[in-house]
Structure 1
Amino acid sequence: MTRAGIAAARMSTAHLAEIVPQVDDAQWELPSACEGWRVIDVMAHLAALASEAVDPPPPDPSLPRNRERYHDLRVDERRGLSHADVLAEWRLSTPRQLDLLEAAQEPPAAGEPVEVPGLGTYPRHLLANTMAFNVFCHLRNDMLAPDGPLPFALPEPTDGEVAPAVEFMLAGLPQMQGPELAATVTRPLVLDLTGPGATTVTVLPADGPDGRLTLAPGADAPTRVRSTALDFIAWATTRTPWRDHCRITGDASAATPFLDRLDII
């Protein structure tokens, strides 16, 4: 899904670009659905990600190792900026970020492993899916109603937008929480995601030296967790409770600890 990732990143970015001119100064200051961040802080986060992709900062061991705290730090650095300055940074760096991600789709660079501190290691081409996930999730879940404060509408999400975001989430699932999450899976269980972005994978208990879960395509376990792929983006990032979206068939005790612990960043 290499090319699909960059297409999805461009599509969600275009949707965000449609929304930005509609937001007034008061709305930028409203609390978003991302705890602790105003709507303008969500834009500052996306601007920071884009700027760091274009001009990576040198390693700094004093920075937080926890990825969420790192994002908070980068947002805090921009809290003194005007709305116009935050949006100018986003507008300047985002097109260059997209061009870099598109260039990274070509071999041999596409297959190079890239470590994303706090999130794991991914083939370079999959970084486009990371952007697709970030923009889609923050726009649809944190900024726009019904969960966010902005009363603007977009077309219903398509498979082309949702599937690449879910692909990144599933690639990150075994890595982001490591043994902490692996300890909750003692028997295989199936994630059955429906609707746009539909996919089915079996989560297998860790059995390798790295202590991580593994995911296999298809359904190969009697216990199933079913939700829409669109809802998965919300509940697997703990924006909404999984119990509001998931139906478990089979042995619920095999799935509940995993679902309670899962938190994709």
Structure 2
Amino acid sequence: MTAAAIDALRAERQHVLDLIESLSDEEWQLPSDCDGWRVQDVIAHMSAVFVTVSGGDTAKADPPSDDAERNADAAVEERRYWSSADVGAEYERSSATAIDALAGLQSPPLSDTVIPLGNLGHHPMHLLADALVFDHYCHLRHDLIAPGGPLARPDLPSDDLRLGPAMTWMLAGLPQMCAEGLSVLDRPVDLVFEGPGGGTWHLVPGTPFVSVVEGPAEDAAATVTSNAHDFVSWGTARRPWRELGVQVHGDEPYAALILDAIDII
């Protein structure tokens, strides 16, 4: 189970609350590294996700869609003209309610209940907490706070507490989210992630989805090595993997096809 993700999510929530408290009127309106979203919109998005998780109503794409990003855009647009105070207040309220609800999903039978999450795939409910840790980690460190984002703030922790759940979600979601692009996988590829949250896994061909298996493959066609923190960036297509020091050994052209196909939400 992923009960440790609850501790990570509470820690990430506090980072957001501290950031909200520190933002000037001008900083709320700065463009983030999420295309078309201001700092305020990113926080509104994180708040809207918590509203949904706790069973509340928020805007969805029209016409209806299973595309997570279209639905996220609709929820942000619903909050576009809210005051920054209202956005911050909703985040504080909805996050507290949702995290308590998520804590109740970490034991059977609910933890193992698989639910559809649109184009994110079908996942057991206990992974929802990991997904939100990933969402917070990504938005805070890669979209809001410099160097990726516009806000000059001290670096936030990039440790096992946070990167462990973030990596759990990314590796669990990769086969379904990237199914079309990864259909070219016909030989195993090792993925080695260094630093906090790291470890070794390998991709195995399969139908309809590839599999992510812990440990190295005996017959890997290539080995890809990256820092786990950087994987959050290139694994979501925020930055090209070629620019982040990713090392490839073995069949480099084949590995490049696989890496280019990875785009996790």
Structure 1 contact 181–262 (Cα < 8 Å) conserved:
yes
- 1:155: how far off? 4.1
TM-score, normalising length: structure 2: 0.94
| 1:239 matched to 2:232 | no
Contact kept? 1:65, 1:118, Cα under 8 Å: yes
What are the within-5 Å matches in structure 2 for residues 113-262 of structure 1?
113-178=114-179, 180-206=180-206, 208=207, 211-220=208-217, 221-245=220-244, 246-262=246-262
Amino acid in structure 2 at the alignment position of 1:216 = V
Indicate whether 1:6 and 2:6 are aligned.
yes
C-alpha distance 27-264 of structure 1, shift in aligned 2 (>3 A): same
Q: Give ranges in structure 1 of 5+ residues lacking alignment.
A: none
Following the alignment from structure 1 to structure 2, what is the Cα–Cα distance between the partners of residues 61 and 200? 41
For residues 115-155 of structure 1, the C-alpha deviation after alignment (integer angstroms, 9 at most, x for no partner) is 11220111111111011111111111100011101111144
- Number of residue pairs matched by the alignment: 261
- Structure 2 unaligned residues grouped into runs of 5+: none
Q: Report the counterpart of residue 77 of structure 1 in structure 2.
A: 78
| Aligned counterparts of 2:69 and 2:261: Cα–Cα separation in 1 | 16
Q: Which amino acid aligns with 2:182?
A: A
- Amino acid of the structure 1 residue aligned with 2:210: L
Q: Which amino acid aligns with 1:192?
A: V
Is residue 203–residue 210 contact of structure 2 (8 Å, CA) maintained in 1? yes
Q: Which one is further off, 105-114 or 131-140? A: 105-114
- Matched residue SS, 1:118: helix
DSSP 3-state at the match of 1:249? strand
Which is further off, 220-229 or 53-62? 53-62
Deviation at 1:61, TM superposition (A): 8.0
C-alpha RMSD over aligned residues: 1.6
Deviation at 1:35, TM superposition (A): 1.1
Superposed CA deviations along residues 231-261 of structure 1, whole A, max 9, x for unmatched, are: 0001000111111221001111221111112
Q: Which amino acid in 1 is paired with 2:3?
A: R
Residue 237 of structure 2 aligns to a residue whose secondary structure is coil
Task: Tell me the TM-score normalised to structure 1 length.
Answer: 0.94
